[in-house]
Structure 1
Amino acid sequence: MAAAKVSEMDPAEAWSVLESEPDAMLVDVRTRPEWAFVGTPDLTGIGKQVILTEWRQFPGMNVNQAFVPALLDQVGTPPKKIFFLCRSGARSMEAAMQTAAELGETTECINVREGFEGDLDQQGHRAHLNGWKARGLAWRQS
């Protein structure tokens, strides 16, 4: 079996595709506490909703073995493109690889490198150097 192929885009590139391609969607694979306390991307301005599905489940951070079925329950028919987002791009790559392996070539799986908060800066803080928030893309907090 061939390895699943996952491409990557930075957040601004992902936003552009999400905005221009009606069938593209964004899946935020972080945990419920991250969504609640750090915020989530906001796609309402382009007429879309972010799909929230944990890849690693809080608090144990074990891989969600039902991730792809849970994702498909929310979206129905797999779209042509799915973007995967986490804090920095690592968990989302794992989720994208698993989804690509299970869905095959019917859906292009794309990791959003840099993630929602991006890399740590010199002070050990995120959301300043890069990532969805630092690039000024739409987001909200509960």
Structure 2
Amino acid sequence: MPDPAVGVHLFVANRALEERAYAAVLAAGVDDVTVAQARLLSRVADEGSRLVELADRARVTKQTAGHLVDQLERNGYVERVPDPTDGRARLVRLTARARALVPVAGAEVARVLEEWREHLGDEAMDQLVTSLARLSAITDPFAH
């Protein structure tokens, strides 16, 4: 019988991973990024993202995303630049200051995943990763 709490299990694991990455950024001396801002930052595409895309990916309103981007821009983590594919649109792009945080958060994510691997074992962890990747193919609205 399927576990009716599978969504909760996925949420809890994701939240734990996210919290550890955020804590690592704070430990690195960043004191001007909130959790909500960090969630938005983590969703900015390498080439930049339109505000409406960020709002969708972060599951917040466009107004909330705009407010968060305003704060991040003031603190030097993002910049708004013209969209090369549409002269009327603007992209939100990470600055060097924000890009410097990526390896900090990434290293902590790697540590967490290694902890999970040690807890689950190699085979179960590999199956989890494979299964989640396959599931993303039908659940991720941003997968291309």
Whether TM-score is above 0.5 comes out as no
Identify the TM-score tier after normalising by the shorter chain.
under 0.3
Indicate the structure with greater strand content: 1
Give the TM-score, by structure 1 length.
0.25
The structure where helix makes up a greater share of residues is 2
**Higher RCO (CA < 8 A, seq sep 6+):** 1
